Structure 1
Amino acid sequence: MEDRWNVLFQGLFRMLVICLVLAIFFPVYEADFTGKVFGQTEPVVCLVGEDVILPCTLRNNVSTVNAVKEAVEWQKMDLTQKDVHFYTDSRDSNMDQIPSYRGRTSLFKEELRKGNISLKLTSVKLSDAGEYSCSVPSLHRNEKAFIQLKVGAVSQPVISIMGPKDDGVVLKCESGGWYPEPKMTWLDSDGSILPDGPIETQIDSEGRYTVRGEVTIQKTDNNKFTCRVNQLQINQMKETEMNIPGDVVTS
């Protein structure tokens, strides 16, 4: 009888050791079952007036998690009043929403059961730029995914002929309403950058930039010149091409 008890005790001891090892090396977190939120590491870029989607997904280690009955919260981190969109009890609840976002935010309700808790933001404004957080407070109050939104504004450059100068003619280019501040470049018909004249930049009350520049050109085979304005941060470029009449450019 004593031997049987010894065997039973040794068996229980081995099981306890195995459970302890598994608990140390393979811990089971609540998130494995309830899910975590995942955003996008790269910034989301859009232009003023466009609609944009801020991506966020609720999933566990294996698959997406149904979010229909969960609370979903979107906030803008650089504001004192942070609430951008709140969903709970299977409906939107935006009583405390930032006024400038009213009527412009929505979730993809039909996609919630697939774990898609992305936010759609319509008619984007320059002031919408910044860092947003996505969370499911009904599961993890302090766990958030962060998404950076960059907002740009662009316009088409306009070229005009100012008049003759020395042995050439002066062209002027102007493009307004840009954000962030853009760069202007002149090119000839071969795509070579021309040495430009003075570049003037102004900023208006809304924070948008107007850039103006001049270049003195000489007669070429086809008298075709391009004013290019670009902004690398938002990966935007606008250009206007002009063919100058031969009789305007002196030989």
Structure 2
Amino acid sequence: MIVIIILLLAAIALIIGLSISGNSTTNDVTTVNAVGQIGQDVILSCTFTPDVKQSSNVLWEKVGDTGVVYKYENGKIVLTDQNSNFKSRASLFINQLSAGNASLKITNVQMKDAGVYKCTITNSNGQGSNKLSLNVGAFSDVTVTNISQTTLQCSSPKWFPQPTVSWLNISASGSNLNTTLPQFVTGLSGMVQVISNFIEVQKDVQYRCVIQNNLAQAQGDAILTDFGLQTQSQLIILSSARMTSPPRLLLGLLLLILHLGAVNV
């Protein structure tokens, strides 16, 4: 137990050192990891405690890239040193800064946009920053049709990275089914169209096709009855954990130490 407490104290010391070197004060900044769809827009969330005394300066950077992604300083947009990759594609919701919203919008997302971003806020509360990860890929809803009275076909137009495909018998507690190998048809930007067939379909049994990669999961349910095929589908974006600034991490570790101490007593 003593060893665990010592290790936790060492971790706290490391976090304090990183916090002091990276931030002038403990201005609390919160970010959330994001998932972007190729060719569409994405919002990188960054919130902070609103400052009623003065306008907040906002700096967005991408770790490993030269130049800034976006800068708002002294009430003005400053893009003289902006990375060319983000020219005309990055923007803030400036009218929401007074409410503590410094989220960044990136239009026409590309694979090269994936990476780690840093949001830094400076105002009368001091300076604070936090990072988030942006994962980029492709995913789309699924359509289930019956191409015969004994065969269901599941299709979805664009995925990247290449997903896995599985069929489940929902009426039998979600048991896995043996299916033919799915087809992956290569398209633009490395995206693939997915086609998968399930044979030996029985009437009045609910089947589910699941297409999934590390970014999203598409589900298509189908029941073949005497009156035709009934279907429903949903697309689920696999969300990532919220990232908080060092003060909250310190609080969590301190609470854990106090709990371990109480248990030890």
The answer to whether the aligner puts 1:229 opposite 2:211 as a matched pair is: yes
**Matched AA of 1:77:** V
Q: Tell me which of 131, 136, 141 is aligned to 1:151.
A: 136
Q: Residue 54 of structure 2 contacts residue 123 of structure 2 at CA under 8 Å; is this kept in 1?
A: no
Larger Rg: 1
Greater helix proportion: 2
Q: 1:25 maps to what in 2?
A: none
**Offset, 1:132:** 0.5
Q: Which residue of 2 aligns with 1:54?
A: 45
For residues 138-168 of structure 1, the C-alpha deviation after alignment (integer angstroms, 9 at most, x for no partner) is 99xx97421112334322334455668xxxx
Counterpart check, 1:182 vs 2:163:
yes
Where is the strand percentage greater, Structure 1 or Structure 2? 2
Identity of matched residues, %: 23
Shift of 1:202: 4.8
Matches within 5 A, 1:43-192: 43-48=33-38, 49-57=40-48, 68=55, 70=57, 72-79=58-65, 81-113=66-98, 115-136=100-121, 144-161=129-146, 169-188=150-169, 190=171, 191-192=174-175
Q: TM-score, normalised by structure 1?
A: 0.61
Equivalent position of 2:242 in the other structure: none
Q: Which of 1 and 2 has higher RCO (CA within 8 Å, sep 6+)?
A: 2
CA contact (8 A) 2:30 2:130 kept: yes
1:177-219 Cα offsets, whole Å, 9 max, x none, are 1133322222346144321121333554413233332322143
What is the rounded CA distance, in whole Å, between the counterparts of 2:108 and 2:53 in structure 1?
29
Give the AA of the match of 1:172: Q
Give distance in 1, aligned partners of 2:104 and 2:54: 14
How many residue pairs get aligned? The number is 204
CA distance in 1, matches of 2:223, 2:85: 41
Cα root mean square deviation, aligned:
4.0
Counterpart AA for 1:228: V
Question: Which runs of no fewer than 5 residues in structure 2 stay unpaired?
Answer: 1-19, 229-265
Whole-angstrom CA distance in 2 between matches of 1:227 and 1:30: 50
